[in-house]
Chains A and B, each alone.
Chain A
Amino acid sequence: GNSVTQMEGPVTLSEEAFLTINCTYTATGYPSLFWYVQYPGEGLQLLLKATKADDKGSNKGFEATYRKETTSFHLEKGSVQVSDSAVYFCALILNSGYSTLTFGKGTMLLVSP
C-alpha cells in the first residue's frame, strides 16, 4: 500500500534557525507530493507541492524537492519565525485519478523567540 513517514516531533527551534523536517514515502504508483500546515484550531493549508521527480516546491520561504531515488520530500526553511509554529503534514496522492491523500502523522514545530 501507500504510506508516508515523517520524523516525530516536536521539533523545537529558536527564531532564525534552520529547519529540516524529513519525509519519506512508499507508493504503488507514481505520486504527487505535498506539504500541508495546520495552525492551532484550524484546518489544513497547502504549503507546497511537487508533481514529478526533481521538482522543487517552494512557498513562504519553505522548500522541498521530490527525490524519486530516495523516495523523499524533506521540508526545509533557512530561517524560521515564531509564526511558523504549527503542525506540518507530508502527504501523497497517486496520479491515478482519485483524490485520496495519504498523510504522514504530522510533525509539530515550536519556534521560540
Chain B
Amino acid sequence: KAGVTQTPRYLIKTRGQQVTLSCSPISGHRSVSWYQQTPGQGLQFLFEYFSETQRNKGNFPGRFSGRQFSNSRSEMNVSTLELGDSALYLCASSLSYGDIQYFGAGTRLSVL
C-alpha cells in the first residue's frame, strides 16, 4: 500500500509570493492533518480535515489555508509569503479523526 505522498518535495519562493502544497493520503484514509516544522518552534499543528470539512485549526494567521477534496487529497496554500514561513511542511493521514497518523516525507519550503 502506498504511503502518504507530498508534492513537491522542495520549493523555493520569494517574499510576497503564494504557494500551494499537495498531499495524497494513504488509500482509504479520510482524515488529513498538516504540520509545520521549524528549528525554532518545532512541530506545530496547522489544520485537520475530514470528509472535505476543516475540523480543527492551529494558531496560524489567515495567510495559511487549506482544503480537502472528495477523494481525500488535500492542499494547503500560503499567501503573501514571509521569510519566517520557511519550514518543512508535513502532511499526515489517518483512517478517521483521532486514529494513528502516518506522515509523508514533507515539502521543504524556502522563502528568499
Which positions in A face B, CB cutoff 8 Å? 34, 36, 41-46, 49, 89, 93, 95-106
Residues of chain A within 8 A (CB-CB) of B99 are 99
- 28 A-B pairs with CB atoms under 8 Å apart are A36-B103, A42-B105, A42-B106, A43-B90, A43-B106, A46-B100, A46-B101, A49-B100, A89-B43, A95-B98, A97-B97, A97-B98, A98-B48, A98-B98, A99-B48, A99-B55, A99-B92, A99-B97, A99-B101, A100-B45, A100-B48, A100-B56, A101-B43, A101-B101, A102-B45, A104-B42, A105-B42, A106-B42
Given A43-B90, A97-B97, A98-B97, A103 contacting B42 (CB threshold 8 A): yes
Residues of chain A within 8 A (CB-CB) of B33 are 99-101
Specify the main secondary structure of chain B where it touches its partner: strand
A89→B102 CA distance, assembly (Å): 14
Say yes or no: is B22 at the interface (Cβ < 8 Å to chain A): no
A103→B99 CA distance, assembly (Å): 16
| Chain A: minimal CB distance from B36 (Å) | 11
Residues of chain A within 8 A (CB-CB) of B100 are 34, 46, 49
The 4 A-B pairs with the shortest beta carbon distances in the complex, nearest first, are A103-B43, A43-B103, A44-B103, A43-B105
Residues of chain B within 8 A (CB-CB) of A101 are 33, 35, 43, 45, 92, 101
Residues of chain A within 8 A (CB-CB) of B56 are 98-100
Specify the main secondary structure of chain A where it touches its partner: loop
Residues of chain B within 8 A (CB-CB) of A96 are 98
Residues of chain B within 8 A (CB-CB) of A98 are 48, 55-56, 97-98
CB within 8 Å of A: which B38-85 residues: 42-43, 45, 48, 50, 55-56, 58
Residues of chain B within 8 A (CB-CB) of A106 are 42-43
Residues of chain B within 8 A (CB-CB) of A43 are 4, 6, 90, 103-106
Residue of A nearest to B4 (CB): A43
| Chain B: minimal CB distance from A75 (Å) | 17
A53→B87 CA distance, assembly (Å): 35
